[in-house]
Structure 1
């Protein structure tokens, strides 16, 4: 997507992590003028060279006014938000007071419902939400091998099982990530996020709760009902390192609906860790492919 006129201001509501900076640079390269509103985990991030500022949750109204003063009509939202806003326990700015009834409705429910509510809120404020891939389409994961070696047969079976489980998990608006072996589902992501889920898997291995013969994989999958303008599954170098620490041998993401952050660095990290990274096509998690593995006993494969 290109600017509608040279230098069109593009709002970027930026959480933490590398992704917002990558999107801002891609937007600038396409001819946009990024206007960066930093929120949540981005409070201390260095955005030197970009117009914008940090806004606490209590200054949400001020952030909207700021974007409008900059003549922003379209916005992209991306980055890490590790804590939801608690509007009941904060002292809001005057501009935010008028938004509180809407804010209370927005933060109810699971992540996908929250993000759909954000889209409705932005539209009501006269701001059109865009997707990361509208501005930076090269971030989308391709189908097939992405980095590292190829998965072996046991990992392929585990990827089928994990993808099918991740789709079921996502349909409940619980999480996007699953760890599985060729025999069973090991861990499901909920409110704790992928990093803490992988720390839990590492602990399970240390405690001997995962068999020596189990080949572990991580799958991050888009939710069936997900608004793809927000919070697509993403992996980067940190994912590779955290997966390595948990004994993960392969990582799968839904092709064309997941983001690869710093692809060249990820390829290097995956090669060094010996981890296979693949883009999974729509039919890869077909229940028929994974069904034989549901019949194993829960403890089978453990020492």
Structure 2
């Protein structure tokens, strides 16, 4: 048994704090923890979290007020903390400063001088130094991890499988530069790499390239490839997918989605599979490189 597994099991039954960005992933984590017998308190971030959080025990927190957030988590009796949900990279000016955050400001400013993984890993370290145990969403809700193998009705053909392998290799090569977690490969050619815009807007860019005639390949070829960066802290910001990802992939004229098994999370995998089957897309979880 690894040290990580031992630590994760040590938290079973203890209260859990879920710091919530947008989307349904915080809900999936809260549900899984409740089924496991844990009490859950949500700490939704104002301006990002969705209204459904108010159906659960919760306390809204402003972005960046770390002192207020840590005090609220302690009042709820929690030591284990999950940070999950959509959260766009803020400007320093958008962060509401309390006294604790002001003391941390020089350190936070340094964290902003780097990629998202650099920033989020630094935020995780701040939580741990405050005495909390940072848990990955997938540790609490392992069912959100994409499994290995074909996931829908359509299988990858040989060309798509080759594109997927190339995509995983390219993401592994780009990982040390903290660039992105997704790209598009068509016919052995990397045509788009995710940057600050995120996966959905990258796929819109591919669709626009096709409309402008910059992509000459017929629709139904090529794949969206998503995988975590090598060496990233998987407790924070694992790449995520959902039915909307499938819809954008179809709109971009691609043939399928290749997701790293155990490294990508899906809040509703069954809905994704059904969307892929309706669109005629191949969907698969690939073994990590």
TM-score (norm 1): 0.86
1:240 aligned residue: 246
In the TM superposition, what is the alpha-carbon distance from 1:2 to its structure 2 partner? 5.6
1:36 aligns with 2:72: no
Aligned pair partner of 1:167 in 165, 172, 175: 172
1:298 aligned residue: none
1:169, 1:176 within 8 Å by CA — same for their partners in 2?
no
1:235, 1:260 within 8 Å by CA — same for their partners in 2?
yes
CA distance in 1, matches of 2:181, 2:46: 21
2:117, 2:232 within 8 Å by CA — same for their partners in 1?
yes
Gaps of 5+ in 1: 284-303
1:250 aligns with 2:256: yes
The count of aligned residue pairs is: 281
TM-score (norm 2): 0.90
For residues 1-303 of structure 1, what are the structure 2 equivalents within 5 Å? Answer: 4=11, 6=13, 8-39=14-45, 42-82=48-88, 84-88=89-93, 90-213=95-218, 215-283=221-289
CA distance in 1, matches of 2:239, 2:64: 28
In the TM superposition, what is the alpha-carbon distance from 1:89 to its structure 2 partner? 5.4
CA distance in 1, matches of 2:125, 2:184: 33
1:147, 1:267 within 8 Å by CA — same for their partners in 2?
yes
Matched position secondary structure for 1:99 = helix
Matched position secondary structure for 1:57 = coil
1:3, 1:30 within 8 Å by CA — same for their partners in 2?
no
In angstroms, what is the RMSD of aligned CA positions? 1.9
1:85, 1:107 within 8 Å by CA — same for their partners in 2?
no
